[in-house]
Structure 1
Amino acid sequence: MLQTEALNVRYGKVRAVEDVSVQVRRGQIVTVIGPNGAGKTTLLSALMGLLPSQGGITLSGKHHAHPDVQDMVEAGMNLVPEKRELFVEMSVEDNLVLGAFHRRRRGHRDHAQDLEEVYTLFPRLRERRQQLTGTLSGGERQMVAIGRALMGRPALLMLDEPSLGLAPLIVKEIFRIVETLRERGVSILLVEQNARAALRVADYAYVLEMGRVTVEGPAQDVAADPRVMHIYLGKSGAGKGSDGATPAVLAP
């Protein structure tokens, strides 16, 4: 679904993302974890075409040398940004319908069906569909942001810190929905500081530190890596996973 080769992003002379290669297979949840300032949001912004980058980005078999937001959306990619970027003075339903804009522009008139699917996934939004988005709770706004992205029928959905600022029960619900989306065939690239929750739902994981991938592997192996356990999960590791096998650490 998505593959990058040695992706680099600079802010002036500062290299924020350096030689990053990630891959997302169809129907997978792939997570990128790491500390603040590691380059996680920068990575997503570059993939979406919001920031200039160098290196290869291939989406659904098509190479994009210089990604452009409109082109990436047309190709099946969508991003739910960390700040959600909703229109707070518009209703929930109007925000959702805006997510189908590029499909309507191409002549598709099936947004009512997509809207019904979003309401099935998020019953709370159906109840609040005529409510101003600015009056919603943080968790409800996150549901609107994800629902709006789904209205574009993305093949690859990128989520930037979906649990940020949410209560534990809402976080649990958001991650349950993420798993449901995978079951529906949506590929997901998930950036998260909540490493424990992210590794629990993901199929594959990357650890990004100072703009570089330092650890990668199947999510359960990354979760069992002693360094990841100590720094990101608050546990002490003894050098081996719970099954006695040495975890997959593919980068120094």
Structure 2
Amino acid sequence: MIDKIVLDIKNLSVSYGDVEAVSNISLQVKEGQIVTVIGPNGAGKTTMLSAVMGLLSSKGVVNFEGVAYLSPDVEEMVAQGMNLVPEKRELFSEMSIEDNLILGAFQRHRMGRRDSAKTMDEVFALFPRLKERRNQMAGTLSGGERQMLAVGRALMAKPKLLMLDEPSLGLAPLIVREIFRIIVELKRRGVSILLVEQNARAALQVADYAYVLETGELKIEGPASELADDPRIIAAYLGLGGKHQDKLAG
């Protein structure tokens, strides 16, 4: 049986003025896979995700669920089942956890899908801490809780592809482990995931396939377990003296 390809990016390039931030990137995410893109700060990882989502204009083709988009539109991509949890989480601080979650289901509601209560129960089952504090204002949450809410809000849209931008950024190691445990659980539930991450070790442990992005170009790719054992990756990203460790820690 041939694995269904959910996302197929071909020759994606993004420029800021005359500067090309991302150059001719091609990558795939298959159904039910966790695919990770690792690389140092400034490599173009966030730019790539923003272009795929339609938040930045780009050149190249984004093929999602069998439909080719030459310049994706963010509303259309969400409607088709793509969702992005941005690095800054971008929650509504003056609104409760529950209201933030309800907003995540806005597009489905607009399309006539009235299943948000059931979906919210599923999110609360994944994140019991959010359920306990469902009436608390988002602005009063800890960093880990904010990340859980950002992921939960994206799940309210019932995405076919969930893109996560640096989900471990700024979180304590214990919380990072919890977030990655949830990422694996989402895969088990059939969500395809594109994970951009500065914590290379954690990302390679959970991913099926991995790409290394440096200075806007994909340099290395392969099964995540193989990249975790690749001397070049160990030297650059996994060893204590790795050349990118200082950048990855920030």
TM-score (norm 1): 0.93
Partner of 1:156 in structure 2?
Answer: 161
Shift of 1:110: 0.8
Matched, 1:117 2:152: no
Shift of 1:109: 1.1
Q: What secondary structure does 2:171 align onto?
A: coil
Q: What secondary structure does 1:166 align onto?
A: coil
- How much identity, in percent, do the aligned residues show? 67
Shift of 1:223: 1.1
Conserved? CA contact 1:2–1:24, under 8 Å: yes
Q: 1:147 aligns with which of 115, 138, 152?
A: 152
Tell me the distance in 1 between the aligned counterparts of 2:238 and 2:74.
34
1:18-97 equivalences in 2 (<5 Å) = 18-97=23-102
Q: 2:186 aligns with which of 181, 186, 190?
A: 181
Tell me the distance in 1 between the aligned counterparts of 2:39 and 2:20.
17
Matched, 1:219 2:224: yes
Tell me the distance in 2 between the aligned counterparts of 1:60 and 1:39.
24
Tell me the distance in 2 between the aligned counterparts of 1:207 and 1:223.
11
Partner of 2:200 in structure 1?
Answer: 195
- 1:12-67: per-residue Cα shift (whole Å, max 9, x none)? 01000001001000000000000010000000000000000000110010111110
Q: What secondary structure does 2:15 align onto?
A: strand
> Number of matched residues?
237
Q: 2:171 aligns with which of 150, 166, 181?
A: 166
Tell me the distance in 1 between the aligned counterparts of 2:221 and 2:180.
21
Q: Which runs of 5+ in 1 are unaligned?
A: 238-252
One-letter identity of the residue aligned with 2:118? Q
Q: What secondary structure does 2:83 align onto?
A: strand
One-letter identity of the residue aligned with 2:7? L
Shift of 1:175: 0.0
Tell me the distance in 1 between the aligned counterparts of 2:115 and 2:82.
19
Tell me the distance in 2 between the aligned counterparts of 1:89 and 1:56.
38
One-letter identity of the residue aligned with 2:112? G
Moved over 3 A (4+): none
Partner of 2:108 in structure 1?
Answer: 103
Shift of 1:192: 0.3
Matched, 1:206 2:207: no
Q: 1:135 aligns with which of 136, 140, 162?
A: 140
Tell me the distance in 1 between the aligned counterparts of 2:132 and 2:85.
22
Shift of 1:130: 0.2
Cα RMSD over matched residues? Answer: 1.1
1:220-239 equivalences in 2 (<5 Å) = 220-234=225-239
Matched, 1:16 2:12: no
Q: Which runs of 5+ in 2 are unaligned?
A: 1-5, 243-250
Tell me the distance in 1 between the aligned counterparts of 2:240 and 2:90.
35
Partner of 1:2 in structure 2?
Answer: 7
One-letter identity of the residue aligned with 1:221? E
**Kindly tell me: are residues 236 and 45 of structure 1, through their superposed partners in 2, closer, same or farther at Cα, counting changes over 3 Å?**
same
Shift of 1:108: 1.2
Shift of 1:102: 0.3
Conserved? CA contact 1:229–1:236, under 8 Å: no
Shift of 1:138: 0.3
Shift of 1:224: 1.1
Tell me the distance in 2 between the aligned counterparts of 1:66 and 1:196.
33
Conserved? CA contact 1:27–1:187, under 8 Å: yes
